[in-house]
Amino acid sequence: MNYRPKLIEVALPLDAINMASAKEKLIHVGTPSNLHAWWARRPLAACRAVIFASLVDDPGADLPPLEARERRRELFKLIERLVQWEGGNTSEVLGEASAMISAGCRGGLPVIVDPFCGSGSIPLEALRLGLDALANDLNPIAVAISKALVEVPSVASRSTETTSLSRSKGDGLDHLG
């Protein structure tokens, strides 16, 4: 199997990601950051964009340069919609991103592993994009925050969109449940 460069290796709409991440920090109601003030919280917009761009093939491997540039613009537009707090939460945008990821992962969807998950931003966004996630942290407070961030909303809403965070062995999420 030939290696195919991923979008994150070639180009990203950094201005859009940075603006959405900065805007997210100013929203004080209705975001997971209201659950607990975590000292190193990763912006959810950046996590969504990085996970997506890490799993989607760059079109430059298959297309002539002009067509590849146009296809990249289309992917950038999707990322720009994906990183918006208001628009990035719709099932339409998340579904489109999930379909693009599935198309890029021909051997099956990968499991996203975050061995130092902290407040759980990466596992949460992986789950929202339809991926399985494994998360762990040595800090029991971080484990409790991650567990609450990922599991409580799905139980409270009885939603199937956010599934339970996969359990890990050792001092991970498994010792709380």
- Alpha-carbon distance of 41 to 54, in angstroms, equals 20
Torsion on CA atoms 92, 51, 20, 135, rounded to nearest 10: 100
Cβ atoms 144, 176 nearer than 8 A: yes
Handedness of CA 99, 19, 127, 106 (dihedral sign): positive
Neighbours of 175 (CB within 10 A): 11
Domain limits of the chain? Answer: 7-175
Residue 84 CA to residue 92 CA, distance in Å, equals: 13
Of the candidates 138, 126, 118, 119, the one whose C-alpha atom is nearest the C-alpha of residue 166 is 126
User: Whole-prediction pTM value?
Assistant: 0.79
**Measured between alpha carbons, how far is residue 79 from residues 50, 54, 59 in Å?**
9, 12, 15
Which pLDDT tens digits describe the chain residue by residue (177 residues)? 688 899 999 999 999 999 998 888 776 655 556 555 666 667 888 999 999 999 999 999 889 999 999 999 999 999 999 998 776 578 899 999 999 999 888 778 899 999 988 888 899 899 989 999 998 889 888 888 888 877 776 654 554 444 444 444 344 444 343
Work out the angle between the directed axes of helices 121-128 and 140-157 (0-180°, nearest 10): 30
Q: What are phi and psi of 151, to 5 degrees?
A: -95, -40
